Amino acid sequence: MRAFRLTDYESHPKLEQIQTPDPGPGEVRLSVAACGLNFADLLMMRGQYQEKVTPPYTLGMEIAGTVDAVGPDVTAWHVGDRVAAFAGQGGLADYALCKAASCVRMPDAMPFTDAAAFLVAYGTSHLALAHRAHLQPGETLVVLGAAGGVGLTAVEIGARMGARVVAVARGAAKLDVARKAGATECLDSGATGFDLRAELKALGGAHVIYDAIGEPLATPAMRALLPEGRFLAIGFAGGTPPAFPANILLVKNLSVIGLYWGAYLRFAPQIMAGSIATLFDWYNTGALRPHISSILPLERALEGLDLLRHRGSTGKIVITI
């Protein structure tokens, strides 16, 4: 089968022919239809992801496809079932092995491309906003990197939850995408002399900051939080994690809250399952629709990763197999 492989941290990944794997106990094999790209794929390629994977391995953590074979003890899934899965790796290939417990049944009307763009981004934002930050109707939510893969879903879900959403992104085109997703205020971080703290103060401050960027936006955003505000640390696409002065956290009674979505598969799968069920319900009613800016074939996976690396996309990039 074809597989998009990283052989070592110093090389570019490339398409190779490898043996088709057989599922073991607790596993299913998927005939992959689509795979969503995530910023975490880039971190994993550099050995900087929370869960380090040592090369050689096949890239692609977010998969949608059809069950092709099941392990000897798997009873919940059958050949032909349409599923989405967070596998951690292996999705950029004709076939992928996944833990049966990590698979979820796709809504009947959901295309594979939507499913491959759904779990990580929407799952991250929903758990962050609903479970961790307890976002309330009428509160002001500020989303940094609002046109990115997870940022855009935070705008969409925040608006769905009744928040006033302030989108922060670079350039009019990206802000237009965020506005269409539900943002009521849009701030261009690429504008000359941009002062995020002052801009947010002029809007009345923020109850919740959703940050997938890190510095240089994180600290000025944190300084615009209202008393008892919550700062959600989602990721560091800008390259530098924030280091907040603790005296400001104390004086304003602020909370800094981390969110690593994949960890819920291990320590609280029931919380993740409930979140995904809610999101699929919203999808079925038309309340959510993934924004996919690029759909590319497996042969162009490296191009997709470059678009992600250089922020040349809005929403998600999906690779079809």
Are 163 and 140 in contact by the 8 Å Cβ rule? The answer is yes
Per residue in 115-152, pLDDT (tens digit) is 999 999 999 999 999 999 999 999 999 999 999 999 99
Mean pLDDT of 277-285: 96
Would you state the pLDDT for residue 156?
97
* Mean confidence (pLDDT) of the chain: 95
For the four alpha carbons of 170, 171, 174 and 180, in that order, the dihedral sign comes to positive
Domain ranges of the chain: 2-118+290-320, 121-262
Per residue in 226-245, pLDDT (tens digit) is 999 999 999 888 878 998 98
Would you state the pLDDT for residue 51?
77
Per residue in 177-201, pLDDT (tens digit) is 999 999 999 999 999 999 999 999 9
Mean pLDDT of 242-252: 91
Per residue in 33-60, pLDDT (tens digit) is 999 999 889 989 988 787 788 899 999 9
The phi, psi pair for 106, rounded to 5°, reads -75, 145
Q: How many percent of the chain have pLDDT more than 70?
A: 100
Would you state the pLDDT for residue 220?
96
Residue type, 17: Q
Burial (0-12, 13-18, 19+ Cβ within 10 Å), 240: exposed
Confidence of residue 292 (pLDDT cuts 50, 70, 90): very high
Confidence of residue 313 (pLDDT cuts 50, 70, 90): confident
Would you state the pLDDT for residue 240?
87
The CATH class of the 121-262 domain is alpha beta
Distance CA 216, CA 145 (A): 12
Confidence of residue 174 (pLDDT cuts 50, 70, 90): very high
- Tell the CATH superfamily of the 2-118+290-320 domain: Medium-chain alcohol dehydrogenases, catalytic domain (3.90.180.10)
Distances in Å between the alpha carbon of 224 and those of 93, 94, 243, 259, 314? 45, 47, 16, 21, 26
Are 175 and 167 in contact by the 8 Å Cβ rule? The answer is yes
- pTM for the whole thing? 0.92
Per residue in 79-105, pLDDT (tens digit) is 999 999 999 899 999 999 999 999 999
